[in-house]
Amino acid sequence: MKIAMAQQNYHIGNFEKNLQKIKEGIERAKEQKADLVLFSELSVCGYPPRDFLEFDDFILKCYDSINQIRELADTIAVVVGAPCRNDSDKGKPLFNAAWLLYEKEVKGIAHKTCLPTYDIFDEYRYFEPGFEWNLIPFKGKKIALTICEDIWTLGDNPLYRQWPMEALSRQMPDLILNISASPFDYDHDDDRKEVIRANVLKYQLPLFYCNAVGSQTEIVFDGGSLAYDASGNILREMSYFEEDFAVIELDANTVIAKSQNTLPAARTLDREMRVYKQNEPSRIIEYLTAENNIRQIHDALILGIRDYFGKMGFRKAILGSSGGIDSAVTLCLACEALGEDHVKAILMPSPYSSEHSVSDARALSENLRNDYRVIPIHDIYEDYLKTLKPIFGDLPFGLAEENVQSRIRGNLLMSMANKFSYILLNTSNKSELATGYGTLYGDMAGGLSVLGDLYKLQVYALARYINRKRNLIPINIIEKPPSAELRPEQKDSDSLPDYAILDKVLYQYIEKRQGPREIIAMGVEEALVKRILKLVNTNEYKRNQFCPIIRVSCKAFGVGRRVPIVGKYLG
């Protein structure tokens, strides 16, 4: 049997474009004489459709696409993902379903049982869990058709009471097909491979796993679709962060397939597998800045920027270029993702900007060959202070005056974005967002946050990765102490702990959900831990007003992290 996998980049709600991609995948599979072609989870409508699922018109369009695909499934079987109505008078009105179409008929429908409702996932809000599990016969073979999380029920602490593969395995299947929309994060890729392989070895069946690729607002799907034979040998590992297509041929028995690649011996899927090596306190920063993680993060951010602009119908980006590390890295990524001709940098020196900041920002844009402009804000700033003088009186210079500069810059950038149809890229990093080190309606303005899920030390590591072939980012930008330059001689270290300590504490609290007791036990000073955690919790109101953040970690700010604004815990 020859099985094709079409790893494609869909656009939520763009039924015409999604259908065209699926049709092209079917034709390509037919040309290569495949018996069956596999597409990813909710491929017809794009994942995650969220509240679009509540519109009957949206569901009707899904069914119309299924009917058109069914007509193409004549000499080849097609497995696609789409919502399916629940005909029962009990439960939610929809299932998340995998449809197997063949001979222009619906030969079988598998309903997703394990509905993730954590972090960025909210499937139980919309779908009814599957409650019947049956194999689908095809060309003399019995297929166990599953959807994403349905094979994530191994280990000593499963999230779900129902295990679809346990029920399906008792019916003696010949192979497992899994369609998925599994998002990228740098904590997740090895875990995902191990789970898939563990299913292969437990049930001693070949497994074909077709994952989505592409970015949907803040979520990045990295692809990396996989095929294994029944012995745990890898048949094909498809590309990451780009579309791909593959046809894999199983032998007559579908038990052992032709393969030249063998994976390492299987590890036991128990609690130990869930404990990442980066939990070692001394190695957290080493893990966060590891080259392999940074390389994947780089590729995810490029895809995230490119798809956000492409799917929104925008072509041009604008950002404030300060001569600092965050804006430098953002500018490099934007130029790579969109092309330097589509990115404009605005340098806006204030009375407290250093000469090297302006010269560094100029040098960066000259290296990248992107358009830039210098707009000093001295006069505008003085006008603001004069206007506010009767109200502020003789009160000393402070945070209000500092933030005026940032808000002037935000206003200028947004004005140009409105006038010339740019998207403003925000340059704040996760360390700043976590601690509230940013100005609402100033440097927190933007349509998309590029670095909002990267800690400061990861931004530095990403800068070094960008410079791996030649120094696009001037060395001075990387080596000088970071500063907001909103008052004389200002440094980040005036307001924040050393980033090596801060990022370690933040990672343990945000990603690992460790409390103050556990973090203090790692050797961090108690008063410092309490101060950092208080900063995180009391600045939720700022993050709640922030733009979408490209997600690269297992716990990003935004839709995947829901904490109260008005709360007292650790505040």
Model confidence at 266: pLDDT above 60: no
Q: Is 545 exposed, middle or buried (0-12, 13-18, 19+ CB in 10 A)?
A: exposed
C-alpha span between 229 and 204 (Å, rounded): 8
Q: Which positions are catalytic? A: 41, 112, 148
Q: Are 429 and 456 in contact (CB under 8 A)?
A: yes
Model confidence over 429-480: pLDDT tens digits?
999 999 999 999 999 999 999 999 999 999 999 999 999 999 999 999 999 9
Q: Where in the chain is the domain with CATH 3.60.110.10?
A: 2-274
C-alpha span between 75 and 62 (Å, rounded): 23
The secondary structure of 5-25, three-state, reads EEECECCCCCHHHHHHHHHHH
C-alpha span between 73 and 76 (Å, rounded): 5
For CA atoms 118, 119, 124, 129, give the dihedral sign.
negative
Q: Where in the chain is the domain with CATH 3.40.50.620?
A: 281-543
Residues ≥6 apart with Cβ < 8 Å to 500: 285, 457
C-alpha span between 126 and 117 (Å, rounded): 10
Taking CA atoms, 45 is separated from 114, 310, 426, in Å, by: 20, 17, 29
Model confidence over 374-422: pLDDT tens digits?
999 999 999 999 999 999 999 999 999 999 999 999 999 999 999 999 9
Give the containing element (helix H, strand E) for 147.
strand 141-147
Determine the average pLDDT of the residues in 137-159.
Answer: 88
* CATH of 2-274 given 3.40.50.300, 3.60.110.10, 3.40.710.10, 3.40.50.150: 3.60.110.10
Model confidence at 80: pLDDT above 70: yes
Q: Are 482 and 498 in contact (CB under 8 A)?
A: no
pTM of the model: 0.94
Residues ≥6 apart with Cβ < 8 Å to 125: 117
- Whether residue 48 has a cis bond before it, omega within 30° of 0: yes
Q: Are 295 and 186 in contact (CB under 8 A)?
A: no
Long-range Cβ contact pairs of 560-565 (< 8 A, separation 24 or more): 560/119, 560/120, 561/119, 561/510, 563/537, 564/540, 565/540, 565/541
Q: Which of 116, 228, 189, 172 is nearest to 560 (CA)?
A: 116
- What is the CATH topology of the domain spanning 281-543? Rossmann fold (3.40.50)
pLDDT for the residue numbered 382: 96
Model confidence over 298-318: pLDDT tens digits?
999 999 999 999 999 999 999
Q: Which of 565, 566, 560, 562 is nearest to 217 (CA)?
A: 560
C-alpha span between 242 and 222 (Å, rounded): 7
Determine the average pLDDT of the residues in 83-102.
Answer: 96
- Three-state secondary-structure class, residue 344: strand
Determine the average pLDDT of the residues in 487-498.
Answer: 81
- Three-state secondary-structure class, residue 99: strand
C-alpha span between 534 and 537 (Å, rounded): 5
Taking CA atoms, 263 is separated from 64, 177, 199, 474, in Å, by: 42, 20, 14, 42
- Three-state secondary-structure class, residue 97: strand
Determine the average pLDDT of the residues in 487-515.
Answer: 90
Q: Are 39 and 179 in contact (CB under 8 A)?
A: yes
pLDDT for the residue numbered 494: 78
